[in-house]
Structures are given as C-alpha cells and as structure tokens.
Amino acid sequence: MIAHTSLRASSRQDWYFDSGCSRHMTEVEGYLANLKSYATSFVTFGDGAKGEIKGIGNLIDNGLPNLDNVLLVKGLTANLISISQLCDQGMKVNFTQSECLVTNEEGKLVMKGVRSKDNCYLWVSEEGNYLSTCLLSKSDEVKLWHQKLGHLHLRGMKKAIAEEAIRGLPKLKVDEGTICGECQIGKQTKVAHPRLHHPTTTRTLELLHMDLMGPMQTESLGGKREKESIIIRVRSDHGKEFENAKFYDFCASEGIQHEFSAPITPQQNGVVERKNRTLQESAR
C-alpha cells in the first residue's frame, strides 16, 4: 500500500486528490465515525517510511468530503483522497489544467478540487467554492510578497506593513500560522557529524575554514539565473597580501587588471570597506 504526500506544507483541514494513494487516509481521528480495526497494519509513504494504520471509518458530515472507508494513519502529514478508490466506487475523475472534477455514474458533480501553486489538487466544498477562490487570491498575494522580500518571516512582514516601512507594499492580512513550504524545504540540512571532544587547533586563526558557493541554480521571480562571470578588474589597497609577485603573476595569467587605491584613502575602495564595517558591526 503506497501513499505519496505533497512537499507543500499543508494544514490539517486540507484534503488532496492523490493518484498514488491506494486508500483515502487521514491522521485526525475526530474526522471519522464508526471507527473499526483494519486488517493491514501499515502503509508505506513515498519516502519509504511506514505509518501505522489505527483503524478505518467514514468521514463525518461536517464540512468534509463525502467519503467512506477512510484509513486512520499515524504520522500522516496531509489528508489524502485516493483516485483509485473513487474509480472503484464507479466515480469518474477528470483532471484539467485548473481543476479536478469527480462525477457519479449519472454525470452529477459530487466533488471538486482546484489546482494550487505547487501543482497539487486541493478539495474545496461546494459552499466554499466562491469564497475559497477569493481567499486563494489573497493568500497568493501574501505569498508573492513573501517571495519578493527574500522569504522574509511573516512577523517581519506584519511589522513592515504596520509601519509602512516598504514603499509599494499593500495592506495585506498576514496570518503568522501560515507555513511556507519552500522555506521549510530550503532550510533542511544534513545531520551534523558527532562533535569532537578534543581541540584540533592550538591558537587563533591556525585553521581557516573556507568554501565557495555558486553559481546559484534557483531562478529569481523574474526568471533570471546566475551565470558564470569573468573578473575584469580587482581593486585593493597596497597591503602586502595584494601587492606581491605571486598575486601579480596570477592577475596577469587570468587577464585581470589590478587597481590600487591611493595610500591612506580607503574612500577609493569604499564598497569593500563598507562591507568590512558591516561584518564588524554584526560580530559585536
């Protein structure tokens, strides 16, 4: 039994149409009535992990999809509507570019879903179709500004809106409980190695850790992507780490023009001097 969940951060109220899910599933026990035990013990998620099946029941009629034989699965992060189970019940499921329509044998529409920004089809109730469309546009506007501001945290967005700190930023209603799926995925890191219990250096600056990053593969909102560039000029002061034969030979071999600022005149290299000042102030 296989279940695949979206990478989008979802709430407990969301229901997704899933063609890779073999049975309807939820983790919320309060959604189910007539809960009974189930013969199979586990389901396997898309990442290979397993979730324990606690039982099977029917969804209560309280603003939820009209579904029977829904599995209660521990550890499930999204509510899933199985396309194969709908087809086994004689339903017809039609996917279009913007929506998903489920009809019965008489051709009557019994269930509907809309396509979200992460290309998943999200169930919407009949009563909330119009309202959901309006709220979706507002939610998309908040997400767009969240991306424009470099994925600024939502508390910071609310403060910027309240203080009118950013010109052109509209008066948006920001819900701090909203989760950005891209932020969650982007902040995932590998597990750190066990920490050493003995020092590996004996003095300051004995070991300098360095790394290069880029070119970046992620496109900007305007569809631009970082490209490899060639350095034409280098500007520095007359420090011996820059003004020496090895660095001169390196610049000559790479076709780089080395410029020097006038002695005791850091203003001529103000760009890097200001960056150094920023680093010093951040380290206080």
| Structural domain boundaries enclosing 24 | 2-125
- Give CA–CA dist 51/55, Å, rounded: 12
Which CATH number belongs to the domain containing residue 258 in this structure? 3.30.420.10
54 vs 28, 84, 251, CA distance in Å?
A: 11, 21, 68
- Cβ atoms of 234 and 256 closer than 8 Å: yes
Residue pLDDT, tens place only, 82-122: 999 999 989 999 999 888 999 988 889 888 998 887 788 98
Residue pLDDT, tens place only, 150-203: 888 888 888 999 998 888 888 888 877 777 777 877 777 777 778 778 887 888
34 is a domain residue: yes
118 is a domain residue: yes
Q: What per-residue confidence (pLDDT) applies to 3? A: 46
Which has more confidence, 148 or 188?
A: 148
Same-domain status, 32 and 138: no
Which CATH number belongs to the domain containing residue 16 in this structure? 2.40.70
Same-domain status, 242 and 171: no
Q: How many domains is the chain built from?
A: 3
176 is a domain residue: yes
Q: What per-residue confidence (pLDDT) applies to 127? A: 57
Residue pLDDT, tens place only, 207-225: 877 776 667 777 776 777 7
Asked if residue 54 has pLDDT above 60, the reply is: yes
Same-domain status, 28 and 82: yes
Nearest to 239 by CA among 258, 208, 260: 260
Token pair for 101? 């329509």
64 vs 23, 26, 39, 42, 46, CA distance in Å?
A: 16, 12, 25, 24, 25
Sign of the Cα torsion 62, 67, 73, 75 reads negative
38 is a domain residue: yes
Percentage of the residues of the chain whose pLDDT score is greater than 90? 19
Q: What per-residue confidence (pLDDT) applies to 227? A: 67
The pLDDT confidence band at residue 6, using thresholds 50, 70 and 90, is very low
Percentage of the residues of the chain whose pLDDT score is greater than 70? 87
